[in-house]
Structure 1
């Protein structure tokens, strides 16, 4: 499979020379989206990690037109479900057409365009272009199961693509949501997947002004007026993995966000438990029938002696809902964010927990 990158000018030149190309707008019903997407006639905006667009087609090659705002975004292009040979590429602030595959056989093919990046990258998708004797095939039927995750850097995929011995810097190119425990679990169950996650976010306090209770109901996480319609996606299972960042910042009284949220006094145990309880209750209101797993880990908020697992367990006990559970991932006992292997271990734990406790 030959990968190349071409500009809009090159596409136009090829067309003038008789090159056959089928243009597919983002609003075309042949495209299947997963995740929170702002869809218009000529564009679709991806905000959250793990958001994807898929299409079934015939043709000798396929391209996508994109650009990004705020910071560069990174994607996988997965042809014929071959994730092992996925093409990873970036989208910057210039509207560009990226050739995702060429020289394809004459049979049927699939493409999944998958956002790997943090939600600080706003990515605008302008459609697909299919080369050769092309045809759009019928999209797959929607997957029956649905799962949704609310999380921080662990769930977003911070550092998953850091090479062995490399620095866990949080650069956009090191994010890879595809290999997080969240995405791995969704694929295990062949479930639709929605991921509401941002590196550095907390329930009471974050490394930036926004906290999850303020943005969890947004389509565009950076726009307070951009509200998500929860009737568009009703998950069977919700997994919440938050409090890692809170566990650090509550011990940093000089931190700007500590001062903004708490003033001069560290939050009490009761305040902390109630904050978590209130957030989970807000999720329950949105999804009255979902199973909700209140998870924590696998970084140092779950190390021996930490109070944070117990805060979650007490909040769950107080809610007293038979379909709300607590799950504490074991502390990975290594530095930096979880790598692919550690993410897989989390997925194995979560899958085992779901198999034991939930029928869906």
Structure 2
């Protein structure tokens, strides 16, 4: 089991680069099928999908050097933007109709963008995503397959990421909330699962924080069926997005403050049982975890365990009790009175082995490389052996078979170009995103040279496959109308006067199984040279230790590589 020890990519400071108008020439609308959405999103208007649960995220693979993100918001929400798996910036608060323009200066290739909502909704009706803005002529590529699992977390401010970026007793602000850094998001990513956070600060299973009584009018379960926090319609489509695991992490607020207002055993357990039953109806096959934090009151953890055992004893083998045991040290692990990013790592480390043991899931941290690409074909379609200088003078193309990685999926392909198999002396490794075809322009090609593509796959954990090489494409000089000057071949004995013939002639597919045979009408052949139409010697044929009357050519050059026409 790999435990999380270090958080990579924690934002250092907010970066806000916003414009009121689009700055690129191509707008990709939100209904583009190559955009992937995760979490609860309202698509009643496909051109402006709206969301307000913290932790909602969306991603896409784009071409070009820049990418803008169009938002419409009330001005209180914050977002993290990741490019190619690394944090690029955090931005906000988003106010009005704006385009984030900070993603610029990338290499002119394919890139992955992920936009994650950091904050809870405190007012308004949510954030509308209005599309991406790309370089002129650019588009979205087909994204990698979605994660193999789906996890849902139902909780309070801890699950929402309240204070995740705060330090010790630093006063809370919405800018310090970050759902991406929570134990929930960390746990989900560990198991290669997409996730949805259904959490609100101050809410409990039956009693909310600070209320003067054991039962509140709107505890957390009252929001559970809503697509949006602040839109009361209970309209989330559970059937279309079945969770593989649901983790219920409520109870902290029920037993906060003056104990005279705490719910009694029957009140709390009845509410908890009813909620588990509701979750089971929504997700018939899901693992349901009745979860306690080490920071909860002992009374609360006892009641939660009793509820879990009730379902287990009644025969529901997919209900589990998860007791998270960890120690938060102040001030290192605390922010605004809640776990900060360091504290959430400790919580995830406590939860991951519990989930693994109950579900049988292996860690999503992939430790094996993806499969090597089976074949790389020169050209844009079927394999070609040569390109004519008059047709393509500055570009080369290749395409290849897809690689496979069952654990973390294929995140991207890399390709390089060289003048020998495996060499990348012409083009160093270039990120090709998830596309299995590439055309490199702006090259300076030399006539009479064979160029080779090398391709390797990278999985979701950053591990790469061995490189697979193409068999080469010969860059031929422009077709000549004159007979090439061929250097003479001087035999070691008297010059052979006999006429040399080639069989079959013509031959469309020269190979070891279908070679070209050179004969001299019964005379002895000591040696023969194979030349291109431009006069370049590519292979010398000779007898194998004896004088022969026939030499055989399998269509390959002196390096054992198949050559094309020309």
TM-score for both structures, normalised by structure 1: 0.86
Using the alignment, how far apart are the partners of 2:93 and 2:352 within structure 1? 33
**Structure-to-structure mapping, 1:87-236, within 5 angstroms:** 87-120=89-122, 122-163=126-167, 165-167=168-170, 169-207=171-209, 210-236=218-244
Secondary structure, aligned partner of 1:38: coil
Residue 324 of structure 1 and its aligned partner are, at CA, apart by 0.7
Mean Cα deviation higher: 290-299 or 130-139: 130-139
Alignment-derived partner of residue 279 in structure 2: 283
Distance 1:191 1:8 in 2: 35
Contact 2:76 2:122 in 1 (8 A): no
User: Is 1:5 aligned to 2:17, yes or no?
Assistant: yes
**Contact 1:21–1:134 under 8 Å retained in 2:** no
Paired position in structure 2 for 1:32: 36
- Residues 57-78 of structure 1: CA deviation (Å, up to 9, x unaligned): 1111011111323x61110000
SS in 2 for 1:23: strand
C-alpha distance in structure 2 between counterparts of 1:175 and 1:34, whole Å: 19
Structure 1: gaps spanning 5 or more residues: 15-19, 254-265
CA RMSD of aligned residues (A): 2.0
Quick one: distance in 1 between partners of 2:152 and 2:227? 14
Q: 2:253 aligns with which of 245, 249, 272?
A: 245
Which is bigger in relative contact order (C-alpha 8 A, separation at least 6)?
Answer: 1
Indicate yes or no: 2:328 matched with 1:324. no
CA apart distance, 1:100: 3.5
Aligned to 1:51: 56
Tell me the SS of whatever aligns to 1:94: strand
Deviation at 1:123, TM superposition (A): 1.3
Q: How far apart in 2 are the matches of 1:357 and 1:33?
A: 28
CA distance, structure 1, for counterparts of residue 121 and residue 147 of structure 2: 24
2:92 alignment partner, SS class: strand
CA 240–108 in structure 1, closer or farther in 2 if over 3 Å, else same: same
1:67-103 deviation per Cα after TM superposition (whole angstroms, max 9, x unaligned) = 323x611100000011xx3310114331111113101
Q: Deviations over 1:173-226 (max 9, x none)?
A: 010111101000111111111111111111112248521121111011222224
Residues 216 and 170 (structure 1 numbering): CA distance in 2 closer, same or farther, change over 3 Å?
farther
Q: Compute the TM-score of the two structures, normalised by the length of structure 2.
A: 0.55
Contact kept, 8 Å, 2:77 with 2:121, in 1: the verdict is no
| Separation in 1, partners of 2:29, 2:294 | 41
Question: Partner of 1:37: helix, strand, or coil?
Answer: coil
- How big is each residue's C-alpha offset from its partner over 1:118-171, in whole Å with a ceiling of 9 and x where there is no partner? 1436211111101255221112222221111101111100000103x451x332
Q: Distance in 2 between matches of 1:88 and 1:67?
A: 16
Q: How many residues are matched? A: 329
Q: Secondary structure of the residue that 1:104 maps to in structure 2?
A: coil
Report the Cα distance in structure 2 between the residues aligned to 1:231 and 1:74, rounded to whole angstroms: 30
1:340/1:6 CA distance change after superposition, 3 Å: closer
Separation in structure 2 between the aligned mates of residue 280 and residue 145 of structure 1, nearest angstrom:
20
> Given the superposition, is the C-alpha separation of residues 91 and 81 from structure 1 closer, same or farther in structure 2, using an over 3 Å criterion?
same
Which stretch shows the higher mean deviation, 35-44 or 175-184?
A: 35-44
Residues 81 and 237 of structure 1, relative CA distance in 2, 3 Å threshold: same
Displacement of 1:322 after TM fit?
1.4
* Structure with greater helix share of residues: 1
Q: Secondary structure at the match of 2:100?
A: strand
Distance 2:196 2:107 in 1: 32
